[in-house]
Structure 1
Amino acid sequence: MESLLSAVIVLLLVSFSCFTSSEALTRNKGNITVKWDLMSWTPDGYVAVVTAYNYQKQRSIPSPGWKMSWRWTRKEVIWSMVGAQTTKQGDCSMFNENMPHSCTNKPTVVDLPPKTPFNQQIANCCKGGVLKPGLESAFQISVGNAGDSVKTVRMPVNFMFTAPKQQYICGPTKKVTPTRFITADKRRMTRALMTWKITCDFHKAT
């Protein structure tokens, strides 16, 4: 009888442990979703708003914040950015006058701090890379040496999202239904020219 009681207690403990682990995984279900909304065409490329959504229920991206990187498939350059910056400019020696913000084939982007001047901000930017559950972080990017129509533009590939002590695995860049936007007065709806989406799933703590 005593051995039977001990076995029942062990079984209950194991079941509780499994339930707790399963519950913890359920609470943290979700991902980081990045949407790349092309808003307008330029003579040699486009202007886009890039937004990272934290759909994780209880996992924040802490200071010093997130980093995003990708690989261009052509010889794209970043002419300018608002609300974020690349960590390296790269080799822009082929440009004599207007100097791009970044010429590297694999740019890494970081958020700007909260005290960034207002004229260098867009909505939902400049949080020092901190991204709490249910919130979003955004920046604007002007890309050159890129396609200037829906038929000639190319999506960036090999996307990576990193955070302090957190490892994520990002899926491929996918073309999705263009994002719709409602104006501040809620009287007009607009839409992106194109929208690309990247889903990054939490892999493990580091």
Structure 2
Amino acid sequence: MESLFSAMIVLLLVSFSCFTSSEALTSSNGNITIKWDLMTWTPDGYVAVVSAYNYQKQRSIPSPGWKMSWGWTRKEVIWSMVGARTTKQGDCSMFKGNIPHSCINKPTVVDLPPKTPYNQQIANCCKGGVLKPGLESAFQISVGKAGTTVKTVRMPVNFMFTAPKQQYLCGPTKNVRPTTFISADKRRMTRALMTWNIICVFNKAT
């Protein structure tokens, strides 16, 4: 029940996140900014909301949509996801009982289709990977076998962002000021436990 309650809180908070354009890398062509917000700690890791913002002025991500991948620095696993899924589960044979969503050291994530059941969605997800200029795509991820404090958790590294006929280059993962969230009635402000940013710029057409 506690994990379900935490997930519901995360789903509500992400609907009202504040992320200004000044936090994006400024350039004449814009960029794709990936934001990794740690929302709650769990017994063996954390729950995060990952968002991809299209700050490119004239370049959309068309169907069949974007793909995002990264590398874990330890032996992290993905227990569950909402609003997206990994393309492969990998070898989870060492687990008994609860089986992780993914045990791959370098997972690849894709968006879910628009007709995804509502209980499997999060705000700004499920567009089939299509991402128009000025919009965002998001998913929730529960990470296990990870650190459980700001001092022991480790950032994922070596991000890759790909799209149909588009090649992007992603910079290093950076620890930035935690994202703030405003309630629907605008009477309460909260913030993420930690926020990591990754900037990806268009390299060439493929």
TM-score (norm: length of structure 1): 0.86
Q: What is the match of residue 49 of structure 1?
A: 49
Tell me the SS of whatever aligns to 2:134.
coil
Q: Deviations over 1:21-44 (max 9, x none)?
A: xxxxxx961000000000000000
Q: What is the match of residue 162 of structure 2?
A: 162
CA distance in 2, matches of 1:28, 1:84: 30
Q: What is the match of residue 30 of structure 1?
A: 30
1:39 aligned to 2:39? yes
Tell me the SS of whatever aligns to 2:93.
coil
Name the amino acid aligned to 1:119. N
Tell me the SS of whatever aligns to 2:119.
helix
CA distance in 1, matches of 2:137, 2:125: 5
TM-score (norm: length of structure 2): 0.86
Name the amino acid aligned to 2:115. K
Q: What is the match of residue 181 of structure 1?
A: 181
Name the amino acid aligned to 1:205. A
In the TM superposition, 1:1-206 aligns within 5 A as: 29-206=29-206
Once the two structures are TM-superposed, the CA of residue 122 in structure 1 deviates from its matched residue by: 0.4
Tell me the SS of whatever aligns to 2:41.
strand
CA distance in 2, matches of 1:59, 1:142: 31
Name the amino acid aligned to 1:127. K
Name the amino acid aligned to 1:52. A
Tell me the SS of whatever aligns to 1:131.
coil
Q: Deviations over 1:34-87 (max 9, x none)?
A: 000000000000000000000000100000000000000000000000000000
Q: What is the match of residue 15 of structure 1?
A: none
The percentage of counterpart residues that share the same residue type is: 86
CA distance in 1, matches of 2:30, 2:190: 28
Moved over 3 A (4+): none
Name the amino acid aligned to 1:196. W
> By percentage of residues, which structure has more helix?
1
CA distance in 1, matches of 2:183, 2:65: 30
Tell me the SS of whatever aligns to 1:199.
strand
Q: How many pairs were matched up?
A: 181
Tell me the SS of whatever aligns to 1:119.
helix
Once the two structures are TM-superposed, the CA of residue 99 in structure 1 deviates from its matched residue by: 0.3
CA distance in 2, matches of 1:184, 1:111: 26
Name the amino acid aligned to 2:84. A
Name the amino acid aligned to 1:113. P
